[in-house]
A and B are shown apart, each in its own frame.
Chain A
Amino acid sequence: MFQPTIRIQSADFDMTDEHAAMRGRHRNVGAIASFVGVVRDVNDGSGVSTMTLEHYPGMTEKALAKIVDDATSRWQLIDATVIHRIGSLLPSEQIVLVMVASAHRQDAFDACAFIMDFLKTDAPFWKKETTADGSRWVDARVIDDNARNKWHAT
């Protein structure tokens, strides 16, 4: 079992740096799949000017480590990086990075999607968006529960 890189930070991240670091740590990696979540300027029909992310320090890191651990027991993974930003973010800013390394592409693709689906439903982050009408907490979506639950059927 490798030691995943898990970071919660207000600062931005550089995907290219993370990619280079991951390749630099291993000689047996043949595939790296990654996902970056970005702040949209519209949600539920309203323009979003700022997105503020809160989390539960301690539980967040524990939950993310468990998700990566679960992925590692399902696929042949060599390395994984999960970086999630907190604090105030503007539209087009990066929120989250999931990057997974494996010997072959299918394990990397699948594990990356799995980690992201479980992050959406199991990691204690909450989004508050500011629109012209004021601030509101973002509601959890059933579609995210469905995306997570489909992995139980496979």
Chain B
Amino acid sequence: MVKVLFFAGLRELIGVANEDVVLPADATVAGLVADLTNRGGAYAEALAADRRWRVAVNQDMAQLTDPIKSGDEVAIFPPVTGG
């Protein structure tokens, strides 16, 4: 089980700020995103390949190939715009 968080425009599109997701033992960021996208609806729209989004695992920026293990905190969000 991992905790998935959504921020900013992604959170508004999906309508959920955070949720628990069950993943296989050899899960990766790409696998999680594929699972979420396969739900269809707002998830598929928010995570479509032509939209720009970023992923952080345990509060560090991550790549699609990075592994995810049980207990991790995974955040998905649009490119940042602070400052």
Contacts and interface: CB of A to CB of B under 8 A. Distances in A.
Contacts of B8: 54, 126, 128, 137
Interface string A98-136: 000000000000000000100111111111100000000
B81 interface: yes
Nearest to A135: B12
A47 B12 CA distance: 23
Interface stretch (B29-37, B42-50, B72-80): B72-80
A59 B76 CA distance: 12
A63 B82 CA distance: 12
Contacts of A120: 80-83
B61 interface: yes
Interface secondary structure of A, over-half rule: mixed
B1 interface: no
Interface size grouping (class) on chain A: 20 to 34
Interface in B38-83: 52, 56, 59-61, 75, 77-83
Contact of B82 (A58, A62, A119, A139): A119
B51 to A, nearest CB: 11
A137 B83 contact: no
B83 A140 contact: no
Nearest to A85: B82
Given A125-B83, A126-B9, A137-B9, A58 B59 contact: yes
A139 B60 CA distance: 21
A124 B56 contact: yes
B2 interface: no
Interface of B: 5, 7-9, 12, 52, 56, 59-61, 75, 77-83
28 contacts: A55-B82, A56-B5, A56-B7, A56-B75, A59-B59, A59-B75, A62-B59, A62-B60, A96-B82, A116-B83, A119-B83, A120-B80, A120-B83, A121-B80, A122-B61, A122-B80, A123-B80, A123-B83, A124-B82, A125-B80, A125-B82, A126-B7, A126-B78, A126-B82, A137-B12, A139-B79, A140-B52, A140-B78
Interface of A: 37, 53-56, 58-59, 62-63, 84, 95-96, 116, 119-128, 137-140
